[in-house]
Structure 1
Amino acid sequence: MQIVVVRSLKLTLFSLIVSLSSLSFADKIDVLKPTPEQSKAAIDLVQKLDSEHYRDQEFNDALSSRYFDEYLKSLDSAKNFFIQSDIAEFEKYRKTFDDDYKKGKLDNSFAIFNRFNERMIARLEKVVKTLDDPKTKFDFDVEESIVLDREKAPWPANEAEADKLWQQYLKSNLLNSMLSGKKLEESKTTLRKRYANQLRRLKQQTNEEAFSVMMNSLTMLYDPHTNYLSPENAENFDISMSLELQGIGAVLQSDEDYTKVSSLVVGGPAQKQGQLKPNDKIVSIAQGVDGEFVDVVGWRLDEVVKLIRGPKGTIVRLEVRPSDPTATINKNITIKRETVKLEDQAAKKAVFEVKNGNKTFKLGVIDIPTFYMNFEAYQKGDPNYKSTTRDVFNLLNELNKEKVDGIIIDLRDNGGGSLPEAAMLTDLFVDPGPVVQIRQSDDTISRNYRAYQPAVYRAPIAVLINRLSASASEIFAGAIQDYGRGIIIGSTTFGKGSVQNLVELKHGRLKITEAKFYRISGDSTQHRGVIPDVQLPSLLDPDDIGESSYDNALPWDRIHPAPHQNYYTISKFLPKIETSHQERMAQDPDFIFLNKQSAMFKEAAEKKEVSLRLATRQAEQQQMEKRALDMENQKRIAKGEKPYADYAALKKANGGDEDEDAPPKEADKEIIPKDDPYLMEAGHVLADFINQLTPEKKVAKQ
């Protein structure tokens, strides 16, 4: 199963079996109560967090107070269901959760959950009734606005204030739908179905779902990668690991009412299809080529995963709200569910040339999508088992025969994988020495992952990274940087520098963080990531993607360095390299465009509120489309290409008018350097580096 679920500050884990069976809105809702098994699990979980988690913090009154705030945020992150009198009433529980959970007492937590359920059900019933009433009118001519992020806003003072807030929500949702091309009545029907479905599911909630929210609100205070898995979610985790069901190859997380794409699994169906992007938000899901779309806004993360997951070879269609602010309408994407094949994740190479003054450098690039190893073949004793290191070793030999002047290791979008492979890959470029340090929760430090053999490749190298380079990628890039073995190019990496383990509880399981990675320099890869020597622009906002975007992420710190040699003093070469780099960036049409696009993305992300006046929004949409068209055409003209006649032509070229019945497209498997401005600039930077080396230093010292 190739759907990976991660936590974010808005994530709440539930073990809900999706069921849309008929249920009257007037049906009596049972008050949820804890079970004896859950009480025992709470005691067990608190003890394991205290004794085994890497972060040494006591569950006391201070942490109980933080838990109170986190629990309320997990339930009502947008602050639109509870009212201030509820919060005032709950305040008496603020410093009691530490004592309660150590004793397995869950009554107060369930009381808060049940109140939230009551408020939410009453609100959604009122919303559905409003949308059903033909007398309800929405005035899209009045100039008013809605705040996009209510995290720091107060809860509504009373029901009347909540009613006003929800009237704005309805207008905003209707406007978004209308701006995507739907009529008002069609938009109202879609919205009515959305809230009616949420209402049905709410009335079928179980105490297990409530308990999961409570426990994950606590584990989140330790770090974002520590999770409680209910018995059902633990079973789903086992199913996913067995690959009995397939998915689209996406890392998903919750973001307010939406399920957001955090990253794509390299070689997975979504990445190969090419249209789904990080930060896209999933609006609705349909099964097969002609199935009806089901609106999933407001659904819980595991519910969305269940709709995306399905038998290998079947089709799933996603309606997404693109992360690109220039894309003003939703996009429909057709993806075939498949297993990620090892050959689709295998390293591959290319050779290209760059000019540097009067010289032309012949460079190689090795693209490594993930750190893989065919463990099954290895365990069977197959001498030809596939692994990252074995494949790269062969590619290095091929590139040596082609007499390249240097090599770029491309780790963009490489989310990690096998830690031993990252260490063995480093071994191909450095002589024997440490690669990474691992500190356990008891402060024990190990340096067992090392380079053991003399380096296979000794010519200059560069490592190309981006925000989605994580974990094992960061260990390799960090080691190359610390050894001074090559130059690091790109944008700051993800910052995932922690180690998790699954432990059994008396009821469910706990995925717990028990160690941290440290570079041989002593710096942690956690939170800060690997900072490149030469920066390239990124369209991914680190406030949205990466370890630093999570609340309560383990901090960056450092330990003692591990003794190691140094190949090149990279810092002394950087002034000249940076000067040439900036001159190229200022003149390159692709990077001029990327910098403008990045600025537009940032501008959109910083927007605090939006208008609820239709004419205003339409004018903003037209302005955004014109701006996007002008930017694109400026780039095309500078490159000698024909400009687009209008925005419709640009949208079509970018896949905005896809035929839903057409077979899914696959991304190119071949590396084409001339079509990749990041790779070409990395080549120029590497050439600048090589050009500064004296002849006797162009081979890394023995």
Structure 2
Amino acid sequence: MRYYTALRRPLEFKRSLTVGLVALLLGVQAATATAKPAGNQWDYLQPDRDQVIASLNVVELLKRHHYNKPPLNDARSAKIFDSYIKMLDPSRSYFTAGDLAEFKEWRNQFDDFLKNGNLEPGFAIYKVHLERLQSRLQYALGLLEKGVDSFDFTVDEELLVDRENAAWSKDERELDDLWRKRVKDEILRLKIAGKESKAIEELLIKRYKNQLSRLEQTRGEDVFQAYINAFAQSYDPHTQYLSPDNAENFDINMSLSLEGIGAVLQSDNEYVKVVRLVPAGPAEKSKQIAPADKIVGVGQNNEEMVDVIGWRLDEVVKLIRGPKGSVVRLEVVPASNAPNDQSSKTVAITREAVKLEEQAAKKSVLNLQQDGRDYKLGVIEIPAFYLDFKALRAGDKDYKSTTRDVKKLLTELEQEKVDGIVIDLRNNGGGSLQEATELTGLFIDKGPTVLVRNSDGRVDVLADEQQGAFYKGPLAVLVNRLSASASEIFAGAMQDYHRALIVGGQTFGKGTVQTVQPLNHGELKLTLAKFYRVSGQSTQHQGVIPDISYPADVDTKEIGESALPEAMPWDSIRAAISPDMNPFKPFLAELKARHEARTNENPDFVFTRDRLALTQELTHETTISLNEEKRRAQQELIENRQLTLENTLRKAKGEEPLAKLEREDETTPHIEDKKIKPEDDAYLSESGRILLDYLGLQDAMAKTSSNGR
């Protein structure tokens, strides 16, 4: 049995799950499809016996072992229906209102269909989707065959781009008009990005023809996986069915951590978006890819770039993967672009495995001057919670683990007589639960570290059994939105024991445990437990709220557990500890006031706040102009605002301002970044100053109390 707590790493758990599978076909009857029948072209797509049995197994597993055990009833059926339609047509650009009217007679019947192993309605809807998609692609090609120059970009018209809640097109005529505007928008984006008409025409024709070709290769397994996932993910976003092919690539498909470049990806409508970079991975080391960037093309070494807009995530994964040492080229639209700016850059990355040594914790010394004194603070950066299970099981006494490495670094820093320690957990996506527990034990006396509530309501308490704390000195923990899972368990424990000041951004909020259960056909990952802090608060959805908050560097409405559909809610259970009085509480108001006074004018903090504000302002725009003159003027205005933000930061740091926004690509040699001194990291430096503020206030209170005696 495999258990997973982090975004990508296995953990060892105390007990196994025994699951009885349904292997009996329960009198499956074919449904009478009343929706508009698809053409004969798709008649070959039919559910087979293995898929029917697998669907029954999934129903039984979720009923018995999912954490929430919600009933499979009419209300669940409606959720499945909505999820499936949204999965197939997220921008409401393929189906018509008439299609939806015909599908809706099934809206409250999917619970019965699934209980009876009846997959026909799911397949029928998918076939209509294929028919509509094929029709739309053919229509778009027909427009392009008239030539890019046949479009009039002087007309004042707009395209609604935020179509999540748009009205469904009444008929094919309305769909034609929508798609005419969509094609016009794609052309305009590429024109503004600097491409010539002929090149645009060739690119888009090739893109649509490739999508048509791949459409014709649709397999029954593609339909089954989509339909069953619409069912599974109506329970929570981490419950997922894996087809036999995808089950073979568990690490990729479960965590989306791509072998070879070290990037966590997800589908975002027609695009593949970067969610997070694996620490010490090739993508992170390239310094040319960032979270929220969109991958629009993939090329092998010097071969022609393949346009991947509209491709499925697993198809893009296959292109990006490859032998260690080989080169993959990615065409990327940076997240820093304006929303309608399709300007891209090409990045060449050498595929390689992420070495455990490169993810190891490392130390540095932060030298600060405050209140007329010089201070030294130790910094321990922990990119991941790692444990070399293989070496441990082989009896290697020098096996690597987060706790062992941090213990050694703490000893070295104490020998350097540092005044306190900052643990840097920024971008740490989690890892071994065992290591999160053992690392907590270095900083507390023995006691509970995390609670795990199972689907049967039983609460398992994981604890540190070692008497005494290894490090008892001043401590701060720095987190951000990409600190997840095991990071949240450690940070939460430090906050609940009042052992450290937590500073930075609200964490990711993944507080659930998944297991992978083999089926007769593929596998099912299902959520079977939930993490709770020792205070009884869940880490789910809400994450860890810092004592002192920094401006977010990503949009928390777009990235984080709370941004995922059907995310399980935050809740609480009975606390496992009754901690002593919070030593930070009397000083928090003053600490926040001093922090705000320092950072209100700090160029890095100002830049982060203003950049996010601009991004959020632009993403709230629901329509865009298809008039070229207006669009270019809008684009120029946005780029000027971005340039002003960048140059304000550069001037404040004594750097030369830019004449225009820079766009690197593979033709521009990347100069390896010089090692940044801890003092030049604004967030790290501010974390140190907050810790020193606390020590100063604590000393002042102690002196006042002493004098009062």
TM-score, length of structure 2 as denominator length: 0.90
Distance 1:484 1:320 in 2: 43
Matches for 1:286-365 after TM superposition, within 5 Å: 286-288=299-301, 290-325=302-337, 328=341, 329-365=343-379
Output the CA distance in 1 between the equivalents of 2:654 and 2:278: 35
- Of 71, 78, 83, which residue of structure 2 is paired with 1:70? 83
| 3-state SS of 1:271 partner | helix
Match of 2:683 among 675, 678, 684: 678
Q: Distance in 1 between matches of 2:549 and 2:600?
A: 14
Secondary structure, aligned partner of 1:513: strand
Q: Does 1:690 align with 2:695?
A: yes
For residues 5 and 73 of structure 1, do their structure 2 counterparts lie closer, same or farther at Cα, with a shift above 3 Å needed? farther
Matched, 1:108 2:113: no
| CA shift digits 1:363-422 (9 cap, x unpaired) | 111000000011111111111111111110010011101111111000000000011101
For 2:654 and 2:77, the matched residues in 1 are separated by 63
Task: Give 1:136 deviation, angstroms.
Answer: 7.2
Matched-pair contact (CA < 8 Å) for 2:255–2:264: no
The answer as to 2:667 corresponding to 1:660 is yes
Counterpart residue number, 2:261:
248
Q: Within 5 A, what are the aligned runs for 1:601-612?
A: 601-612=615-626
Say if 1:443 and 1:242 are closer, same or farther in 2 by CA, change over 3 A: closer
SS in 1 for 2:100: helix
Structure 2 letter corresponding to 1:194: R
Counterpart position of 2:49: 36
For residues 563 and 5 of structure 1, the distance between their equivalents in structure 2, rounded to whole angstroms, comes to 30
Q: Which residue of 2 aligns with 1:386?
A: 400
The more displaced of 334-343 and 605-614 is 605-614
The structural deviation recorded for 1:677 is 0.9
Partner Cα distance (1:480, 1:98) in 2: 44
Q: Percent identity?
A: 48
**Paired residues for 1:10-89 under 5 Å:** 28-89=41-102
Matches within 5 A, 1:319-468: 319-325=331-337, 328=341, 329-468=343-482
CA deviation after TM superposition for structure 1 residue 31, in Å: 3.9
Task: Output aligned runs, 1:611-626, within 5 Å.
Answer: 611-626=625-640
- Displacement of 1:537 after TM fit? 1.1
Deviations 1:428-457 (A, max 9, x none): 111101110000000010112335231111
1:554-580 deviations in Å (ceiling 9; x for gaps): 100000000243374322211111111
Q: 1:472 aligned to 466, 473, 486, which one? A: 486
- Checking the alignment, whether the CA contact within 8 Å between 1:433 and 1:564 is kept in structure 2 is no
Secondary structure of the residue aligned to 1:587 is coil
For residues 620 and 406 of structure 1, do their structure 2 counterparts lie closer, same or farther at Cα, with a shift above 3 Å needed?
Answer: same
Kindly report which structure 2 residues correspond to 1:553-572, keeping only aligned pairs within 5 A, or say none. Answer: 553-566=567-580, 568-572=582-586
Distance 2:288 2:600 in 1: 29
Alignment CA distance shift 1:5-1:279 (3 Å): farther
Equivalent position amino acid for 1:252 in 2:
L
Q: Partner residue of 2:594?
A: 580
Distance 2:250 2:66 in 1: 21
C-alpha separation in 1, matches of 2:372 and 2:126: 71
Give 5+ residue unaligned stretches, structure 1: 7-25
Give the AA of the match of 1:61. Answer: D
Q: Distance in 1 between matches of 2:182 and 2:227?
A: 27
2:112 is the alignment partner of 1:99: yes
Q: In the comparison of the two structures, how many residue pairs are matched?
A: 666
Cα deviation, residue 624, structure 1: 2.0
Distance 2:312 2:657 in 1: 43
Gaps of 5+ in 2: 1-6, 10-38, 704-709
Name the SS of the counterpart of 2:482 in structure 1.
coil
| Alpha-carbon distance between aligned partners in 1 of 2:550 and 2:252, rounded to the nearest angstrom | 40
Over 3 Å counting, the alpha-carbon distance change for 1:392 and 1:377 in structure 2 is: same
Q: Which amino acid aligns with 2:384?
A: T
SS of equivalent residue, structure 2 residue 128: helix
Counterpart CA distance in 2 for 1:231 and 1:635 is: 51
| Paired residue secondary structure (2:605) | helix
Shift of 1:360: 2.6
Paired residues of 1:369 and 1:412 also in contact (CA < 8 A): yes
Query: Shift in Å at residue 142 of structure 1?
Result: 1.3
- Shift in Å at residue 461 of structure 1? 0.5
Q: CA deviation at 1:611?
A: 1.3
Distance in 2 of aligned mates of 1:136 and 1:588: 49
* Matching residue of 2:15: none
Aligned amino acid, residue 349 of structure 1: K
Given candidates 241, 256, 259, the residue that maps to 1:228 is: 241
Q: What secondary structure sits across from 1:693 in the alignment?
A: helix
Contact 1:272 1:667 in 2 (8 A): no
Q: Is the 8 A contact 1:313 1:336 kept in 2?
A: yes
1:238-273 Cα distance to aligned partner (Å, 9 max, x none): 788999994211111111110111111111110111
Cα contact 1:430–1:451 (8 A) shared by 2: no
Amino acid at match of 1:551: P
Residue aligned with 1:436, SS: strand
**1:178 and 2:185 aligned:** no
SS of 2:541 mapped into structure 1:
coil
How far does residue 597 in structure 1 lie from its aligned partner after superposition? 1.2
Rate the CA distance shift 1:66–1:244 in 2: closer, same or farther, 3 A: closer
> In the alignment, is the contact (CA less than 8 A) between 1:84 and 1:157 conserved in 2?
yes
Amino acid at match of 2:362: K
The alpha-carbon deviation at position 487 of structure 1 amounts to: 0.5
Further displaced range: 215-224 or 127-136: 127-136
> Following TM superposition, by how much is the alpha carbon of 1:59 offset from its aligned partner in structure 2, in angstroms?
0.6
Question: Quick one: distance in 1 between partners of 2:81 and 2:519?
Answer: 23
Q: Is structure 2 residue 600 aligned with structure 1 residue 593?
A: no
Mapped contact 2:348–2:666 kept (Cα < 8 A): no
Tell me the amino acid that sits aligned with residue 300 of structure 2: Q
- 2:600 aligned counterpart, secondary structure: helix
Structure 1 residues 328-337 or 634-643, which shifts more? 634-643
2:288 maps to 1:283:
no
| 1:539 and 1:601 in contact (8 A); partners too | no
Counterpart contact for 1:369–1:411, Cα < 8 Å? yes
CA–CA separation in structure 2 for the residues paired with 1:615 and 1:238: 47
* Cα separation, 2, equivalents of 1:271 and 1:391: 22
Q: How far 1:358 moved relative to its partner?
A: 2.3
2:655 to 641, 653, 665: 641
Match of 1:542 among 556, 565, 576: 556
Distance 1:434 1:197, change over 3 A: same
Structure 2: how far apart are the matches of 1:436 and 1:634? 44
The farther-off stretch of 305-314 and 609-618 is 609-618
Q: Partner residue of 1:17? A: none
Q: Alignment partner for residue 515 of structure 1, among 525, 529, 533?
A: 529
Query: Aligned pair 1:164/2:198, yes or no?
Result: no
Task: Report the equivalent of 1:206.
Answer: 219
